[in-house]
Structure 1
Amino acid sequence: MPAAVRRLILIMWDALAWVLAVIVFLSMRDAALEPVQARWVLFYTAAAVLLQVIGGLSSQLYLGRNRIGSFADAARMGFTVAGVAILNGTTFLLAADSFPMRAAVALPSLALIFMATARLVFRSIVESRPRSAAANAIPTLVYGAGNAGHQVATLMDLAEDAPYRIVGFVDDNRDKRNLRVRHHRVLGLGRDIIKVAKERGAQAVIFAISAASPDLIQRLSTACEEHGLDLLIIPPLREMVGGQVTLGSLRQLNVADLLGRRPIKTDLSAIADYVTGKVVLVTGAGGSIGSELAAQVHRLGPAKLILLDRDESALHGVQLDLYGNGLLDTEDMVLCDIRDEDALERVFSKHRPDVVFHAAALKHLPMLERFPTEGWKTNVLGTRNVLRAAYSVGVERFVNISTDKAAAATSVLGRTKRLAERLTAWYANEYQVPYLSVRFGNVLGSRGSVLISFQSQIEKGGPVTVTHPDVTRYFMTIPEACELVMQAGAIGLPGDVLVLDMGEPVKILDVAKRMIAESKKDIEIHFTGLRDGEKMHEVLFSTVEAGAQSEHPLISEVQVPALNPAELAADSDEGVLQMLDSDPTVYPLPALSEKVI
């Protein structure tokens, strides 16, 4: 139907609504109007119809600005009728003594009811009539009959040539049994999905739960794989524009979904208070964490953002990402090794930062097991140098990026990062400044992470190597980790070690299987055994640490004993190993002095 015809019909109906309103009003027993009063009511109705058309055109009610039956359309209709009622009613009440006041109240109300009813019926008819699915549409079950499930149903019913045809819903809530989502029934519980899929001939499953546990996602993925069902998911809310599901947003399950998709609420005002308009320096700015921190800080509008790294190629990459050029000719790009105390002090003296995010570190566990003094020089002495330079120029806030391996440390990496936490705590306690550490686990996609290794092995045709079939690790996405680091910097107290909530630990074997499944290649998995210093299961707190809840629900805090920098061992192989072996805050372990340097 042409748009002009649709709009004309709408105008005619709204005019008819006033006529129906006066018919109903005059037929009421208690109306009992005198002939003169009835004439004024008819004049009122005629004037109301004229004003309704003029007002509707002026407010664009009849010009197709809003979808018929939408909330915006209803609001515009209500304002138009209210305007007609006030103007028309006031005029007639003042001009005619015999015009009944009850008509000025009842007629607009009745007319509005008729207008709204017609729009509601029209919208119900349109939305309940599914469009024809594509000829090759895949019969699909939807897991989840909540808000996201309703969006999926509406999307499939109203899309032109929808690629999926919904054959039913399942939901874990027993109260939703036999509920209808649009015209689709909830056919059973989530645990019944395979049975229901076979009964209904489903070939795919759309997982319409935006915040699900990793365990549920993994179990559903395994069940779908075993029975040949294609599994699609809706992305987390933060990845959807306006929180709305679209055909383009439906995607295959990926490794990040195994982590669970908890919404992170960040107090941007608190973060902006200590970053916006300040000079911020990020060490290790070319790394995975450092570059993402730099990007998030950049969006908050610092007065100056200093990016420091010893890797010129990494600085080139982060400058390209942030500013769209890689000329490396500006003063905010600083090539410096945190082991070089003199060079570091010159950088801090020149730029005088207000806030420092210290992300520079050596992090590869097997390499540090073989070369412990290298870990000592960067993770311990380098952190001491950065702390010393920061305090000397009056840095207001210092955030040291640590690791979950510092809890009940069994490796050189964990022990050196533990010492870095203790050094940070000493500066905080000694000078009462908000210097603190943030501890978290593995991040997806960081350089050298297990995902990068798996991806490389898969591209080469395998095999994929996993240390042990039962080994688990905590994972976060890089943006999620950095967002919480920024939040931790805002709420942390001097000397705190803030521990980020990593969700549930994930089996590395499951990650490997998922990545192989995504590649659609036939690749073997080989088990190599745990390496020196490696744990079967990481922990976020040791048994000697009592975690307390912070202001943020996803951040806990612990205290570590301070370590005076003056007590650090001499920079010699023997002194370093002795210092790492004798740290009283970790459990007795095989002496590192037996390792090869």
Structure 2
Amino acid sequence: MKYLKYHRGLLLALIDIMLINLSYILALYFRFSFSIPKEYWYNYKISVGFIILIYMISFYVFRIYKSLWTYAGTDEFLLAVASCFAAGIVGTIFTKIVGLSLPFSVEILSSLFATMFICGFRIMFRIYRRVLIIVGRIERNNLKRVMIVGAGSAGAMIIREMKAHNEMNYEPVLIVDDNSFKRGTSISGIKILGGRNSIEKLVIEKKIDVILIAIPSLDRENKKQIIDICKKTGAKIKIVPGVYELIDEKYLLNKIRDVDVEDLLGRDPIKLDMDGISDYLEDKVVLVTGGGGSIGSELCRQIVRFNPKQLLILDIYENNAYDLQNELKYKYPNLNLEVIIASVRDKRRLENIFKEFKPEVIFHAAAHKHVPLMEHNPSEAVKNNVFGTLNIAECANKFKVKRFVMISTDKAVNPTNIMGATKRMCEMIIQAMDKISETEFVAVRFGNVLGSNGSVIPLFKKQIAQGGPITLTHKEITRFFMTIPEASQLVLQAGAYANGGEIFVLDMGKPVKIYDLAVDLIKLSGLEPNVDIEIKVTGLRPGEKLYEELLMDEEGLDSTSHEKIFVGRPIVDNIDELKRKLSELSFILEKEGKKEIFYKVMDIVPTYLNPALSEVSVTIEK
């Protein structure tokens, strides 16, 4: 490769020397009408070697032999022009000094010719490549016809990259932009034909396969409006990520992604009190249980931004923890990170961990969370969620941890399933522990997290990829949704407001129909619901609600200084009574079956409303 690279540069230099000579000769012929005086011809022959050397030095300084001219852009051509003019000026000065000067008009003409020939020769490389691309496009009929939404710099860059990379199978056909002054103009030969209101009509007229939204600075409200229009077309919809995702990124085409449900939520970015969060995380030993999971891992990514003294990731599942360890070590090589493989059920192991590492802040995200699985395995839900939380909470109290933040769920409110009931017991534990401990115990309650392990969105995507059907349990079922980063950021913020005993409730926005989510995902894939992909309603699963709540009636709700975080009043304060009941539950786990577990959980959590419990109660009484 080095051999070829060297000879390619040498060949270019030889061609440039010939073109420079040709430039001066043509300038002399033009100036003197093809009858060059002997004096000037002599001066040229004597000085040409020095002039060529000056040009070569200029080309070297401006690095024009380092450019890959088949992909060259405006910057490369401006450098070539600048190098030619710089060499022309220096050459003129040199010939004047040594007394071999040529007429000033010849110096100007030769510089112009040299610029034209040097740049023109290099343009041929791009022309040649473009011809190959066009020929390739003509020979292939599987190119996807693309509409670009946005005639700004991102749209222009995307079009250039599509034309340069035939292997991506994209053919830019037209641009739409709401700026009426741009209508009728072109970018790289692609016309701007209308605004967002023309999208549906133009998709039909131009037989568009893919709509690409190329406006990184687009606010969420306008993004949602444009996506809603695009959904009606049946075309596949893709989007260029936001500006904050594109820092230090050069090639936009590799960064485009499918439009996702997150883009349709229309939420504004979270505003955080960075100082408040930094006060309780900076230079502290922070432990995240369940740190390899969806929420736990994102919490770790957010926490490292606040320079903890040490980050402890505790998880029983080694693969996720290992992947996160590699990610964080790569991005933050100076991070003091410790990955601990352990179970929250093993109290002796936990005590040894607390003794060794002395955590000061704990985020407790370890839990079993899948409703149907836990309904069939209630003993595991209780052991992991309830007694795992009790173990961590008692260790936090014993070793005088400053702050303990537990991740809870909206399913803990008037629960209708064992998973929700166990999370309610976890809330009760941390509220009761707060009354007897120096540790500030709080819980943060929110709904479903988009894209988390086991959530409905990845399942729907998988079902669409398999050709359907999409299965959902009820056409009217609704849920609150939040993105993983959004939830994690608000958890950190809620931790800054902790005084002890609170249950913080996050503003989840409006509840969303799961059926509508399924329809949106199918349309965003460029398919037709119940035509290309069937939506199949299977019926509610055991313990499943039609809708979720975020607050119990007796808790009340107070605002905080953050518009998206509210706080419920503590309603549990007797740790001894709670431990007595948990001790009875522990005995039942060892001795009895599912029904007895359900019954005891109902005794501990009076708001447990699972319809199956009425049958359990009757069975036990008999």
546, 556, 562: which one pairs with 1:549?
Answer: 562
Q: In the alignment, which residue of structure 1 is the partner of 2:481? A: 474
Q: In the alignment, which residue of structure 2 is the partner of 1:164? A: 170
Counterparts of 1:136-285 in structure 2, within 5 Å, are: 136-138=141-143, 140-146=145-151, 147-160=153-166, 163-210=169-216, 215-216=224-225, 219-220=228-229, 222-225=231-234, 229=235, 231-234=236-239, 236=241, 238=245, 242=249, 244-246=251-253, 258=264, 279-285=285-291
CA distance in 1, matches of 2:610, 2:535: 36
What secondary structure, in the 3-state scheme, does the structure 1 residue paired with 2:475 have? coil
CA distance in 1, matches of 2:116, 2:422: 68
Q: Deviations over 1:141-186 (max 9, x none)?
A: 4141243322332123233466233321223444543342222222
Q: In the alignment, which residue of structure 2 is the partner of 1:570? A: 578
In structure 2, relative to structure 1, the CA distance for the partners of 1:521 and 1:63 (3 Å cut) is: closer
**Residue pair 1:137, 1:164 contacting (<8 A) in 2 also:** no
CA distance in 2, matches of 1:241, 1:513: 36
Q: Deviations over 1:188-219 (max 9, x none)?
A: 22232232123223344334345566744763
CA distance in 2, matches of 1:355, 1:79: 60
Task: Report how far residue 136 of structure 1 moved.
Answer: 0.4
Which letter maps to 1:561? R
In structure 2, relative to structure 1, the CA distance for the partners of 1:251 and 1:88 (3 Å cut) is: same
Q: Deviations over 1:250-277 (max 9, x none)?
A: 5655556555798889999999998798
In structure 2, relative to structure 1, the CA distance for the partners of 1:452 and 1:168 (3 Å cut) is: closer
Task: Report how far residue 474 of structure 1 moved.
Answer: 0.9
In structure 2, relative to structure 1, the CA distance for the partners of 1:372 and 1:161 (3 Å cut) is: closer
After TM superposition, the structure 1 stretch with the greater mean CA deviation from structure 2, 125-134 or 204-213, is: 125-134
Q: In the alignment, which residue of structure 2 is the partner of 1:465? A: 472
CA distance in 1, matches of 2:17, 2:73: 14
Question: Is residue 131 of structure 1 aligned with residue 137 of structure 2?
Answer: no
Q: Deviations over 1:264-292 (max 9, x none)?
A: 89999999998798654322245433355
Q: In the alignment, which residue of structure 2 is the partner of 1:345? A: 351
Q: Deviations over 1:471-525 (max 9, x none)?
A: 243142x4x3576368648x83444877777677543113334666769975441
Q: Say what the alpha-carbon RMSD is for the aligned residues.
A: 6.3
Counterparts of 1:401-440 in structure 2, within 5 Å, are: 401-403=407-409, 412=421, 415-416=424-425, 419=428, 438-440=444-446
What secondary structure, in the 3-state scheme, does the structure 1 residue paired with 2:162 have? helix
In structure 2, relative to structure 1, the CA distance for the partners of 1:453 and 1:322 (3 Å cut) is: same
**Residue pair 2:444, 2:506 contacting (<8 A) in 1 also:** yes
In structure 2, relative to structure 1, the CA distance for the partners of 1:48 and 1:142 (3 Å cut) is: same
Task: Report how far residue 235 of structure 1 moved.
Answer: 5.1
- List alignment gaps of at least 5 residues for structure 2: 1-7, 29-42, 328-337, 586-598, 618-622
Task: Report how far residue 359 of structure 1 moved.
Answer: 0.3
**Residue pair 1:128, 1:183 contacting (<8 A) in 2 also:** no
CA distance in 2, matches of 1:13, 1:453: 64
CA distance in 2, matches of 1:522, 1:51: 68
What secondary structure, in the 3-state scheme, does the structure 1 residue paired with 2:198 have? helix
Task: Report how far residue 360 of structure 1 moved.
Answer: 1.8
What secondary structure, in the 3-state scheme, does the structure 1 residue paired with 2:355 have? helix
Which letter maps to 1:223? K
Which letter maps to 1:140? R
Q: Deviations over 1:341-378 (max 9, x none)?
A: 66543431233224422102343457889999997876
CA distance in 2, matches of 1:262, 1:113: 56
**Percentage identity across paired residues of the two chains:** 26
CA distance in 1, matches of 2:407, 2:601: 22
CA distance in 1, matches of 2:272, 2:27: 52
What secondary structure, in the 3-state scheme, does the structure 2 residue paired with 1:155 have? helix
CA distance in 1, matches of 2:226, 2:413: 29
Which letter maps to 1:337? V
Q: In the alignment, which residue of structure 1 is the partner of 2:539? A: 528
**Residue pair 2:389, 2:426 contacting (<8 A) in 1 also:** no
550, 569, 578: which one pairs with 1:561?
Answer: 569
CA distance in 1, matches of 2:404, 2:479: 31
In structure 2, relative to structure 1, the CA distance for the partners of 1:317 and 1:141 (3 Å cut) is: closer
**Residue pair 1:138, 1:203 contacting (<8 A) in 2 also:** no
Q: Deviations over 1:113-138 (max 9, x none)?
A: 99599859987995998834253044
CA distance in 1, matches of 2:436, 2:27: 79
What secondary structure, in the 3-state scheme, does the structure 2 residue paired with 1:464 have? strand
In structure 2, relative to structure 1, the CA distance for the partners of 1:504 and 1:559 (3 Å cut) is: closer
**Residue pair 1:235, 1:251 contacting (<8 A) in 2 also:** yes
CA distance in 1, matches of 2:166, 2:81: 30
**Residue pair 1:436, 1:492 contacting (<8 A) in 2 also:** no
Which letter maps to 1:61? I
**Residue pair 1:472, 1:538 contacting (<8 A) in 2 also:** no
What TM-score comes out, normalization by structure 2 length?
Answer: 0.63
What secondary structure, in the 3-state scheme, does the structure 2 residue paired with 1:242 have? coil
**Residue pair 2:298, 2:488 contacting (<8 A) in 1 also:** no
**Residue pair 1:443, 1:449 contacting (<8 A) in 2 also:** yes
CA distance in 2, matches of 1:274, 1:16: 73
Q: In the alignment, which residue of structure 2 is the partner of 1:512? A: 518
**Residue pair 1:10, 1:62 contacting (<8 A) in 2 also:** no
**Residue pair 1:436, 1:493 contacting (<8 A) in 2 also:** no
What secondary structure, in the 3-state scheme, does the structure 2 residue paired with 1:361 have? coil
Which letter maps to 1:351? F
Which letter maps to 1:166? P
Which letter maps to 1:54? I
Counterparts of 1:248-397 in structure 2, within 5 Å, are: 258=264, 279-285=285-291, 287-291=293-297, 293=299, 306-309=312-315, 314-315=317-318, 318-319=321-322, 322=325, 332-338=339-345, 344-364=350-370, 382-383=388-389, 385-395=391-401
- List alignment gaps of at least 5 residues for structure 1: 23-39, 325-330, 551-555, 583-588
54, 63, 78: which one pairs with 1:51?
Answer: 54
Q: In the alignment, which residue of structure 1 is the partner of 2:496? A: 492
CA distance in 2, matches of 1:408, 1:120: 76
CA distance in 2, matches of 1:121, 1:267: 57
CA distance in 1, matches of 2:226, 2:427: 34
Q: In the alignment, which residue of structure 2 is the partner of 1:586? A: none
What secondary structure, in the 3-state scheme, does the structure 2 residue paired with 1:167 have? strand
